[in-house]
Amino acid sequence: MSMPFYVSPEQVMKDRADYARKGIARGRSLVALECAEGIVMVAQNQSRTLYKISEVYDRIAFAGVGKYNEFQMLKIGGVRLADMKGFQYSREDVTANSLANAYAQTLGQVFTNEMKPYEVEILVAQVGATPEEPNELFHILYDGTLMDESDYTVLGGDAERIGDALEDTFRPGLSLAEAIQIGAKSLADEGVTLGADQLEVAALERGRPRRAFRRVIGDELLGILS
């Protein structure tokens, strides 16, 4: 008869965290920066159809790195939660804060209860309705750790290097184009320049009517990066 081996909870959690981190590190990173117009999100992504950045609600966007099917599922869950809340209460009652908490709850539960943790890191971003109202950047890890960041945030395995690069180049009040340039530059490895076909760029622009989310694509992106 086989005997189950005893494994300490510390070891189980550590193994799971290592597993999740390894999965995330295999993928490409993503940065989000505050700018004068709102928030810019830049991801290294060659696909034109499988997005890492998506619209969730009027002023809220979702971004994920790691395993595509897992953060895609989380994105859909977020859209569902937001739309239900907005329909049952009011559009104004949908906030990034409550959405980020729901994500943290879900990821935390999966991390402790399921066989395998999600190999993802996600961002819930909300642009303020007016320049006076602060933007919100919620960075959520695979185990449900929730961080409230400002100025900029980096998601993915290469976060330390990219964060260092941004610390030198970021300053408050950047224009949308400048923020995209800085973001793209920070993602690139030493001596490499990322072109428009290797980047996925989206923005939450305060000035747009109702739906603040838009993708920065095509000629506009080419123009900004050249």
The binding site for another protein (CB under 8 A) comprises 49, 51, 54-56, 73-74, 76-81, 83-84, 86-88, 98, 101-103, 105-106, 109
Q: Judged by CB, which is closer to another protein: 109, or 150?
A: 109
**Minimum gap (Å) between residue 180 Cβ and another protein:** 21
Kindly tell me the burial class for residue 188, based on how many C-beta atoms sit within 10 Å of its own C-beta (0-12, 13-18, 19 or more): middle
C-alpha torsion angle, residues 224, 37, 54, 23 (rounded to 10) = 70
**Minimum gap (Å) between residue 118 Cβ and another protein:** 11
Q: How far is CA 132 from its chain centroid?
A: 23
Q: Judged by CB, which is closer to another protein: 33, or 199?
A: 199
**Minimum gap (Å) between residue 78 Cβ and another protein:** 7
**Minimum gap (Å) between residue 48 Cβ and another protein:** 11
Q: Judged by CB, which is closer to another protein: 49, or 130?
A: 49
**Minimum gap (Å) between residue 66 Cβ and another protein:** 16
Q: Please check whether residue 33 is in contact with residue 162, taking contact to mean a CB–CB distance below 8 angstroms.
A: no
Strand order in the sheet with 152-155: 152-155, 30-35, 38-44, 199-205, 213-215
Q: Judged by CB, which is closer to another protein: 82, or 194?
A: 82
| Distance from C-alpha of 74 to C-alpha of 103, rounded to nearest angstrom | 8
Torsion region of 38: left, alpha or beta (phi above 0 gives left; psi -120 to 50 gives alpha):
left
Q: Judged by CB, which is closer to another protein: 98, or 198?
A: 98
